[in-house]
Structure 1
Amino acid sequence: MAACVNRLNCVTGQAARPAAGFADIDWSTPWFSQFTPRGERWQQAALQSPAALLAEMNADAQRCVHTTGRGARLSFISQHELPPGATYEAHIAATGCVPTRHNLHDFFNALSWFQFPRIKAALSARGSAALDALGVGPTRGSTRDALTVFDENAVLFACSDRALAAALRAFDWRALFIAGRDAWGARGEVRCFGHALLEKLVAPYKACTAHAWIVDVPPAYFSWDVVARDAWLDDTVSRALLATDAMTGRVFAPLPVLGIPGWWTANEAPSFYDDQSVFRAGRRAERAG
């Protein structure tokens, strides 16, 4: 489901940003560090050639033996190998082969397949099922739009603190980021998933906003290592995606990611959150006013 950035902009209303390149990725940032060291190795291959990058991806796919939405073994092919008339989602579901362009967008898409393989497979399964049911029409429909938003721009907001989750849902940025600052890392954290979001974060900007999928986690979650957290999130969220009947944009909460404590030096000043063009009150608060 590697929708182009322009299509995502149509769904989310976000403006396009200038393109960055493979050499610009800083793996020390909080949003990329979860993909290290695979990302660094792939980055070096990408800087060599498209063929070298595909070879690295497929070598990892052979070792990991991940599968796509209908159980086909995951692999990566060049975009030009997608047969004429075939849709992206249907081809992945039928063959396991992910058409891949030599750009950051598809680079991060492939990394997500390894970080959260069950979530990616669940998105693939639901997307191909929607195609089977409705076909390719002039509009994508609310379910496929929501699946695209998840695939492209989601973060997983893992939280054991109901007050923190309620603040996010209510657009209460001061409660979430200032009053609740000490809860971050202890009772709440964010894991990046969407590959268009990751592409944008190569050149981060204050207004960069993700679609947060809130995941209730047990308190013990925050004592686990990163591998255990990823495995738990991958299993839990993939099952939820397959079980959610009303898959629409309303399942997400907007989250300006550079507001996350520890992610951006400037947000150490409370005044950082005074920018109402980024930290908006939200439709519910606006109607109440």
Structure 2
Amino acid sequence: MDGGVRALSPGLPAVAAIEWAAPWLAPYRDPGEAVARAIAHSGTVAAALQDSKPPAVPDFVTQDALPEGQAYEAHIFRTRTVPTRDNLHDFFNGLVWLAFPETKRRLNELQAAEIARAGVGATRGPLRDALTLFDENGAVLDAPPALWEALVARDWQALFVTRRALWGQARLRVFGHALLEKLVVPRKAATAHVLLLPAAEGPLGDAALARCLMPEHMARKPFAPLPVLGVPGWCGANETPDYYDDPKVFRPRS
């Protein structure tokens, strides 16, 4: 191949298909495009991420650095390295590390503490389960109170139709790397678990979010489901109100 470009791993053909202009990728676009370009030269996701990371982010290593039988989160905490496979899932996990290093580190600290306390069993337990859910599928919403009220009530008509103009004052940040992976091929049913946070003063950035991840709060699974393609501007089809008349996606509160 020209210019020393190496063949991509069979697990990464979809990297070239990522639409970086998608609104949910806004926090990840600049590093994401750089890492995607680097993959063509490095041949591995770990090496491409490692070349782009700041000192505050743990080192990215290939998956074979994780010893057999070692818990993934405990290994990250002990070695300050992130075992990384050549697939989209771990590609997006790495991008979240680059964009939200303090939050990812806090999640890892809590996971590792629970593993040290209780070990690794057949089930994760309520705290680890909630931490994993947020890590994989979570999102954070900064919005006016009226939108929060509608979200918690699952009042989709109020959230997306009658109070639609308020979304101009809102910002939804997708945090979960599994959800980012799913959104490479967007489907209407793609749903985030929006973290219901204690009131925060000022903008909810990385450091503030990390401070809000308190074990006793997270163990209660404080999430509200949100079909993300219902967000105004995130899908052209949702410009008509009947987009939300789909009970399989926009489910009422039970």
TM-score (normalised: structure 1) = 0.79
Match of 2:157 among 174, 192, 200: 174
User: Partner letter of residue 212 of structure 2?
Assistant: A
- Kindly provide the CA deviation profile for residues 220-243 of structure 1, in whole angstroms up to 9, marking residues without a partner as x: x6xxxxxxx5xx4212211110x2
Partner of 2:192: 210
Q: Cα gap change, 1:38/1:237 in structure 2, threshold over 3 Å: closer, same or farther?
A: same
- Kindly provide the CA deviation profile for residues 191-247 of structure 1, in whole angstroms up to 9, marking residues without a partner as x: 1110000000000000010100135566xx6xxxxxxx5xx4212211110x24142
Partner of 2:27: 34
Q: Residues of 2 paired with 1:31 and 1:116: CA distance?
A: 15
Q: What 5-or-longer segments of structure 1 have no aligned partner? A: 1-18, 68-73, 222-228, 284-289
Q: Residues of 2 paired with 1:249 and 1:151: CA distance?
A: 15
Q: Residues of 1 paired with 2:15 and 2:127: CA distance?
A: 32
Partner of 2:9: none
User: Partner letter of residue 75 of structure 2?
Assistant: H
User: Partner letter of residue 66 of structure 1?
Assistant: A
Task: Report matched runs for 1:154-169 at 5 Å.
Answer: 154-159=138-143, 161-169=144-152
Q: Residues of 2 paired with 1:96 and 1:75: CA distance?
A: 7
Match of 1:153 among 123, 137, 141: 137
Q: Residues of 2 paired with 1:180 and 1:240: CA distance?
A: 28
Q: Cα gap change, 1:118/1:137 in structure 2, threshold over 3 Å: closer, same or farther?
A: same
Counterpart contact for 1:158–1:214, Cα < 8 Å: no
Percent identity among equivalent residues?
45
Partner of 1:269: 240
Asked if 1:105 corresponds to 2:89, the answer is yes
Task: Report matched runs for 1:29-108 at 5 Å.
Answer: 29-51=22-44, 53-61=45-53, 64-67=54-57, 74-108=58-92
Partner-residue secondary structure (3-state), 2:103: helix
Partner-residue secondary structure (3-state), 1:84: coil
Partner-residue secondary structure (3-state), 1:206: coil
User: Partner letter of residue 33 of structure 2?
Assistant: E
Partner-residue secondary structure (3-state), 2:146: helix
CA displacement at 1:185 relative to structure 2:
2.8
- Kindly provide the CA deviation profile for residues 101-155 of structure 1, in whole angstroms up to 9, marking residues without a partner as x: 0000000000000111111011001000110110011111111110100000001
Q: What 5-or-longer segments of structure 2 have no aligned partner? A: 1-11
Partner-residue secondary structure (3-state), 1:37: helix
User: Partner letter of residue 200 of structure 1?
Assistant: K
Q: What is the RMSD of the two structures over their aligned residues, measured on CA atoms?
A: 1.8
- Kindly provide the CA deviation profile for residues 145-197 of structure 1, in whole angstroms up to 9, marking residues without a partner as x: 101000000011112x21211110000011111111111131x2201110000
Counterpart contact for 1:165–1:214, Cα < 8 Å: no
Q: Residues of 2 paired with 1:198 and 1:20: CA distance?
A: 16
Counterpart contact for 1:22–1:47, Cα < 8 Å: no
Partner of 2:5: none
User: Partner letter of residue 16 of structure 2?
Assistant: A
Q: Residues of 2 paired with 1:92 and 1:84: CA distance?
A: 14
Task: Report matched runs for 1:135-284 at 5 Å.
Answer: 135-159=119-143, 161-186=144-169, 188-215=170-197, 216=199, 232-241=204-213, 243-248=214-219, 250-283=221-254
Q: Cα gap change, 1:43/1:249 in structure 2, threshold over 3 Å: closer, same or farther?
A: farther
CA displacement at 1:20 relative to structure 2:
7.1
Q: Residues of 2 paired with 1:281 and 1:79: CA distance?
A: 41
User: Partner letter of residue 44 of structure 1?
Assistant: R
Partner of 1:21: 14
